[in-house]
Structure 1
């Protein structure tokens, strides 16, 4: 039998060296050539795809088992559709996160988490699932089943031992390996009994008060006087504080914990909203600076001094007067009494050195009244040549 074949060779640009035409050869000579052509066709792969790596991590919550699954899939088939079934999606298993892959799609298909592609290559699949438990009361149980193409692997489980008691598997510690049984992972737990919360004791509001106050008078020989009063406040929330300024005084500035406050005086009364600078603290410092004109000092005379009347009670008030050194001073009246300064007063004077002759006064339990002081003065002739 003779079989005729028409062979046309065209490689690149035709030339005289490349013949064309037809040839007739016997069948027994053609068959070996045809068999050789079949051998050059690559054989199909033994399987379309393989799951080469699987990892599962889980974390228990009061309402579900949260799972992070990692798969690496090697797809061998090319130019035809391949499905790789990774996990069973039962009624209580919910996908919460799936990846976006180039050349492949991952999602739910026929009740299973499936990778679908028509291109060969290696694909990394990271998905998140929430497995809701079955059971009533405080005891819960979940089950996660593997897909047909995945070999079962253990689940790395994190469980807070103070919040959960594991029933299945029975194991101690917070990091547990849960091994599959019959192609499924099973976890059972019991929520720990809620701790009794101690009844919160509401602290009664702190009565605002002023444990201590420090006042300082400074005057020049021309009678220009400045009064600085520092109040140590005790309070636990914002409170209103009212100061009635003595007659003839004008307000220079007000500071709360060294921060200037915008304040206005109406009818010789200063009203402020004060509070601790930091939350939870119960102390603050208010500083008030006043000025007044005492008048020119004569050879002798009398000074009437006063401090603001404060709406909060003051436990202890200490005052210092820095007046010209050319005079002798004596207390003639008022609510404040003179006392010897002692070590505490000397230390305070050293911290804030001021010119003039220093006289110390004090008053205890000041409430709803303005501290007052009357001083008589006369020229000091103790150092005079004639006496």
Structure 2
């Protein structure tokens, strides 16, 4: 102990002999119980403060136009450097027409609206990823719309990648580049987007076509009879109709119905006292033509050496523009027209009801125009044909 005091005294004496104190050198031995209080009073120098509390190291903005607003998806990566105190990082300014639709939940930090700005608040250093969604609505209600987005004090302005459907919107600001995506660059730290909703395409007013007046442009008929007088009457009507309509037929006296076909499809008509009521329509949608075929049977009676035949066709409720008829009667007789509404003519026109096998007998042709509300009739006289007989 005496040695330690002597060494300290010598050092103090040496220091008083000079004007500038010199740094002592050498070593000293002191008890441990005196060293510990001295060491406790020693403090490590505090680390220097960071040059800034936080940095926004990455910013990305994506936008999509709708009819009423601009939807923005913003992504920020924030590096907080300060510790032990609260740090605020202002990212975006929120105007009166800006609405936050999604904010993230972060561990150790909070993101929300503070003093009219989108702000990250924390007291823990670290790196934070912030993804928010907001809607910017235009203030006006006219055809032209405009919105703007301002950056916060801690964010450097970056462009906005805008997605706009060219068929639904017309960009006014910035000018469209011709693609689906457009880069909107900030001007003076503000992003501005102006657009006009495309005019709704004019829907052509559906023109309701008036109902087509049902009619029969053409009818073709044929009589085929055996020598015993068993006759078959076949009538084919070309119908002009665009929707389901009723058609009435009145059968001639003495005739019985065999079958009715509409475009080769059998029909079951309602029959009462020789009157048929049919519902006819084109079998294919959009068409205006159909074919109705009516087959009748009649007993004309046995042919004699001479006599008269009274023939008739059904009366239809629709007007018939042209009627052509053909008769196939036994060839052993000569026939002459003696009356009726149909006139006889000579020609090569066919009746359109031929079969694959030619019909026997003499062929007579008749026609009538503008048949309306009446039954076409024909009266024929016949007598034995002796032109080929050797008795003449």
TM class, shorter-length: 0.5 to 0.7
> Paired residue for 2:162?
155
* Of 355, 361, 366, the match for 2:359: 355
> Residues of 2 paired with 1:146 and 1:164: CA distance?
26
Match of 1:287 in 2: 293
1:293-332 maps to which residues of 2 (within 5 A)?
293-332=299-338
What is the rounded CA distance, in whole Å, between the counterparts of 1:298 and 1:244 in structure 2?
30
Q: In the TM superposition, what is the alpha-carbon distance from 1:130 to its structure 2 partner?
A: 8.1
How far apart, CA to CA, are the structure 1 residues paired with 2:385 and 2:165?
Answer: 87
TM-score (norm 1): 0.61
* 1:195 Cα deviation from its structure 2 partner: 6.6
Equivalent of 2:262, from 256, 269, 280? Answer: 256
For 2:234 and 2:219, locate their aligned partners in 1 and report how far apart those are by CA, in whole Å: 10
Larger radius of gyration: 2
TM-score between the two structures when normalised by the length of structure 2? 0.61
Provide structure 1 residue ranges, at least 5 long, that are not aligned to the other structure: 1-49, 74-86, 97-108, 113-124
**DSSP 3-state at the match of 1:383:** coil
Give the CA deviation at 1:338.
Answer: 0.5
Indicate the SS of the match to 2:164: strand
- Residue of structure 2 equivalent to 1:277: 283
Judging changes above 3 Å, is the alpha-carbon distance between structure 1 residues 156 and 137 closer, same or farther for their aligned structure 2 residues?
closer
Q: Assess, with a 3 A threshold, how the Cα gap between structure 1 residues 225 and 351 changes in structure 2: closer, same or farther.
A: closer
* SS of structure 1 residue aligned to 2:249: strand
Structure 1 counterpart SS, 2:350: helix
- Aligned to 2:307, what secondary structure does the other structure show? strand
- What is the aligned partner in structure 1 of residue 11 from structure 2? none
Q: Residues 254 and 144 (structure 1 numbering): CA distance in 2 closer, same or farther, change over 3 Å? A: farther
What do the CA deviations read for 1:52-97 (whole angstroms, capped 9, x no partner)? 9x89684655x45689x899x9xxxxxxxxxxxxx9999767979x
User: What is the Cα deviation at residue 231 of structure 1?
Assistant: 1.3
Compared CA separation, residues 215 and 94, structure 1 to 2 (3 A): farther
SS in 1 for 2:326: strand
For the Cα contact (< 8 Å) 1:322–1:354, is it kept in 2? Answer: no
Asked if the contact 1:240–1:273 (Cα under 8 Å) also holds between the matched residues in 2, the reply is: yes
Residue among 365, 377, 384 paired with 2:382: 377
Q: How many residues align?
A: 302
Question: What is the Cα deviation at residue 169 of structure 1?
Answer: 1.8
